[in-house]
Amino acid sequence: MDLEIAAQGFAALGSEARLQVVLTLVKAGQGGLTVGDIQSRTGMAASTLAHHLKFLASAGLVIQEKDGRSVFNRAAFDHLESLAGYILKECCADEAVCAPTSTKTLSEKELSHD
């Protein structure tokens, strides 16, 4: 992934409303959701949601597929994973030895406090 594509993806996620749409689609999994389903889960007006979906699709973060009269929207999991990896690949690039402070994920840390 190059800098321009990464910047476009991060810019698309830079809106609270668009981030909410992406998170809703991520939670829904590979099956995706119709516009109506997303609207009911987010409470967004149809015209606002359509605008955000168009923006997210143009950034490659949402895949839209027409099935009859319905349009299914799915999170572009591969692209989202690449976007997250774009930042993390630079971890400790300026250090001679890369030693993360912890190998536990946040959820593992949270679970260990229960």
For residue 12, the domain's CATH number is 1.10.10.10
The closest of 66, 58, 70, 65 to 34, measured between CA atoms, is 70
Average pLDDT over residues 86-114: 63
The pLDDT value recorded for residue 24 is: 98
Instruction: Return mean pLDDT, the chain.
Output: 87
| Residues near 99 by beta carbon (within 8 Å), at least 6 away in sequence | 92
| Angle at CA of residue 14, ends 8 and 18, nearest 5° | 100
Which residues are CB-neighbours of 38 under 8 A, at least 6 positions away? 21, 24, 25, 44, 49, 53, 73
Q: Into how many domains does the chain fold?
A: 1
CB hemisphere CA count around 100 (13 angstroms): 8
Q: For residue 71, what are the β-bridge partners?
A: 66
Range of the structural domain that residue 19 is part of? 3-112
The per-residue pLDDT for 83 is 93
pTM: 0.78
Q: Per-residue pLDDT tens for 32-68?
A: 999 999 999 999 999 999 999 999 999 999 999 998 9
